[in-house]
Amino acid sequence: MFSIKILFLCILVPIVYGLTRKELVDFADKQYHKLINTLKTGVQYPAVGKTGSDHWETTPPVDNQWTAGFYPGVLWHLYNYTKSDEWKQLATTATDAMYNDQFNTWQHDIGFMIMGSYGNGYEFTKNPNYPKIIVNAANHFAKRFNHNVGCTKSWDTPNPNEFLVIVDNMMNLELLFEGWKHSGNKTLYDMAVSHTNVTIREHLRKDYSHFQIPNCDPFLMSKAKNTANVGDDDFMAPEAMTNEYNHLIDIYSLSLIGAQIFGFDKNDIIDGKYE
Ligand SMILES: *[C@@H]1O[C@H](CO)[C@@H](O)[C@H](O)[C@H]1NC(C)=O
Ligand SMILES: *[C@@H]1O[C@H](CO)[C@@H](O)[C@H](O)[C@H]1NC(C)=O
Ligand SMILES: *[C@@H]1O[C@H](CO)[C@@H](O)[C@H](O)[C@H]1NC(C)=O
C-alpha cells in the first residue's frame, strides 16, 4: 500500500544507520507526534512539507486533489505496529472524516484516498462499517471506466477525443479489486484487469520502461456503431460507449443538458439523486 512508502520515507534516514524495526517504529512514532501537534486531525491533512521547515501545507479530507489518504494510512500503520489506542483513535477520526470521498467521480486518485484510509482501517480493525464504503467508492471510481478504451480515465480534459490514462492510475486499481472482494461484483475485477492489459499494451516500451501519459482515443478504438463521432462524453450515458444501448441514452443526455440549463449539479443526476 502506498502509505507505507511515506512511513518508510519518515524512517529512511535511520535505516542507513542500521536501526532495528522497533527503533524505526519508535522514530516514526516520535516524528508523527510532532506532526499531529501542528494539525487538527480530521480537518487538516498534510500535503506538502518543505525541507528545513516544520510547516506543512494541508488539504481538507474531502474533494482534495489526491493526498488525503496518506495521513490516515500512516496513522493506521502506526496503530498496527504499536497497538496504541491513541493512534487508533487518531486514525479512526482521520478516516471517518473522509466518508464523502466514496461518492467522488471527478478524479481517479480516489483509490489512494479510500485505500489509505478505509482500506488500512479495515485491514487492521475489521471494522464492519468499512467494506460497504470501499465497495461504494469502487462503484463510483468505475464510472470513469470507458469500455471502448478498456481503462479508467485519469484526468478530465475539455477535448472529448482525449482520454488520458497516466501510468500512476495502476495504483488506484487496488480499490476495484477490493470492491470486488467485498461485494463479489466481477465487473469491478474485470475493469481492473482490462485497465492492466491496456496499460501493458499502451504504456510499456520494448525495454520495459514506460510512458507516463499516452492519450487513448475513446472513439477510434470503438467497436460500437455510433451515429457520428460528435458530442461531449461528459454528457454521454456510459452505455453509449458499449455495443448495447437503446433510446434511454438520449433521455440520459437530455437530463444532463437540462441540469446545465436549469442550474442543477450534473453529478447529482449521474449519481441518481433525482430518480
Ligand atoms: C502489522 O504489524 C505486524 C507487526 O506487529 C507486522 O508483522 C505486519 O507486517 C504489519 N502489517 C502490515 C500490513 O504492515
Ligand atoms: C457491479 O459494478 C458495476 C460497475 O461499478 C456496476 O455498474 C453494477 O451496478 C454493479 N452490480 C451490482 C449488482 O452491484
Ligand atoms: C487480459 O489479458 C489476459 C492475457 O492476455 C487475457 O487472458 C484476459 O482475458 C484479458 N482480460 C481482460 C478483461 O481484458
C-alpha radius of gyration, the chain, whole number: 21
Please give the model's pTM, rounded to 2 decimal places. Answer: 0.76
Average pLDDT over residues 206-219: 75
79 lines ligand 1 (CB under 6 A): no
Q: Cell triple for residue 39? A: 494539525
Average pLDDT over residues 42-70: 90
Q: What is the pLDDT of residue 188?
A: 98
| 38-52, 91-105, 131-145, 259-273: least confidently modelled range | 259-273
Cell numbers 501493458 correspond to what residue? Answer: 200
196 lines ligand 3 (CB under 6 A): no
- For residue 58, how far is its CA from the centre of ligand 2 (angstroms)? 34
Cβ neighbour number for residue 175 with a 10 Å cutoff: 29
- For residue 249, how far is its CA from the centre of ligand 1 (angstroms)? 48
- Report the run of H or E that residue 151 belongs to, with start and end: strand 151-152
Cβ neighbour number for residue 233 with a 10 Å cutoff: 19
Determine the 3-state secondary structure of 146 from DSSP: strand
Alpha helices in 83-207 (DSSP H): 85-96, 110-114, 120-125, 130-142, 173-183, 186-203
Domains of the chain with CATH codes: 98-268 (1.50.10.10)
Q: Are 75 and 91 in contact (CB under 8 A)?
A: yes
Q: What is the pLDDT of residue 240?
A: 66
pLDDT digits (tens, 9 = 90+) for 169-180: 999 999 999 999
Of ligand 1's atoms, which has the minimum distance to the CA of residue 77?
14
Among 109, 156, 217, 250, which one carries the catalytic annotation?
Answer: 109
3-state helix/strand/coil string of 172-195: HHHHHHHHHHHHCCHHHHHHHHHH
